[in-house]
Amino acid sequence: MQSLSRKPACAQSQRRGIGAVGRRAVVIRAQAAPSAPSSSSSAGVESISGVRAEVVEAIAKARHNCLTATNLPLPNRRQGKVRDTYDLGDTVVIVTTDRQSAFDRLLAAVPFKGAVLNQTAAWWLDATRHIVPSALLSTPDPNVAVMKKCAVFPVEFVCRGFMTGSTDTSLWTHYKAGARNYCGNAFPDGMRKNDRLAKNVITPTTKAEDHDVPISPAEIVAQGLMTQQEWDTVSAAALRIFEFGQQEAAKRGLLLVDTKYEFGKDSDGNIRIIDEVHTPDSSRYWLADTYEARHAAGQEPQNIDKEFLRLWFRERCDPYKDAVLPEAPAELVCELSKRYVYLYEKITGQPFAVPDLGVPVNDRILANLRKAGICK
């Protein structure tokens, strides 16, 4: 996917952490972040406040220097929706790009997204290792993770704490259509969008390249995707990680609404979590202090995730069927980048390190991998 050609339209506003090896970066001390977005953009989306002016300026400058593709001198490259993976045998090198995916489509390229996702995931993987070990070995670059190779369970573990969503696999989409039993979970009549669930649930899907399909635990076992013991072990770990994430988010004035996890087995048979954890891509976050009042008034919760971009496409096209999608406005792309940075700093308590914009991202990645002895 090529970088977008529209010029930046980012309004100036005021405003973790695994460090990269050998990168030049501008590190600016984080300021205290306000609890809510403060203004509305011309696209009708509330603009997050609390992002430093230097970062906002860097986002605008980086709009045409996003990481949209990689071609490292490493074997067995596979391109996913957002990540490029290089299989080295016992390990895999995963590069998180700035590609923005939703509805099983690529929607845009978002400045600094890949670095934020990679570093946020690394922070959470370290914070949750008391629950389940991860496959993460190192992060030699802001966009790169070196992982222990695992046999991946072909199931995504989607954990939910609220009745919400807009995609074909979302809980609200199915409930609104009349479903009261979804992926083995029963829900009562009379629920409204964005209601809090009585308890956290898992709504698993098959893991597919093109389109994920909802599936029940009984079907997972019956189809041989996992054994009953594997399902019991992994699902319990997923719910524990989700509950821990909700507790940590609450300390920071956030509601962790839903998320997804992926697990696998290493060569010794140990179950490990293998993918991003509680990032803005894999998770939905709402601002806690305004949720109750807005929900009572029938308003959408204030969010710090990509839902507003999904809704923008939903309102203008059929993102699942239309061959050509409208181009996301630069203003929305920049707003999404700001939210990624905001959430990273809010969760980790560390300032986002703006990379040297004079160095192409691919060149920096290659230099850091060479320094780490991964590339020649």
pLDDT in tens, the chain (376 residues): 333 333 333 333 333 333 333 332 333 233 333 344 445 454 567 788 889 999 999 999 999 889 999 999 999 999 998 999 999 999 999 999 999 988 878 889 999 999 999 999 999 999 999 999 999 999 999 999 999 999 999 999 999 999 998 878 899 999 999 999 999 999 999 999 999 999 999 999 997 666 678 999 999 999 999 999 999 999 999 999 999 999 999 999 999 999 999 999 999 999 999 999 999 889 999 999 999 999 999 999 988 877 788 888 989 999 889 899 888 889 999 999 999 999 999 999 999 999 999 999 999 999 999 999 999 8
Coil, helix or strand for 149? coil
Model pTM?
Answer: 0.83
Among candidate residues 164, 110, 104, 170, the one with its CA nearest the CA of residue 322: 104
What tokens appear for 121 in the block? 């995931």
pLDDT at 43: 55
Backbone dihedral angles phi then psi of residue 315, each to the nearest 5 degrees: -75, -15
Among candidate residues 350, 308, 342, the one with its CA nearest the CA of residue 35: 342
| Torsion angle (degrees, nearest 10) of CA 191, 193, 199, 205 | 110
pLDDT at 167: 79
* Sign of torsion over alpha carbons 246, 250, 256, 260: negative
Contact (CB, 8 A) for 278 and 256? yes
Residues whose CB falls within 8 Å of the CB of residue 297, separated by 6 or more in sequence, listed in order: none
Pairing of strands 105-109, 99-102: antiparallel
pLDDT at 42: 46
Domains of the chain: 25-151+308-371 (3.30.200.20), 152-288 (3.30.470.20)
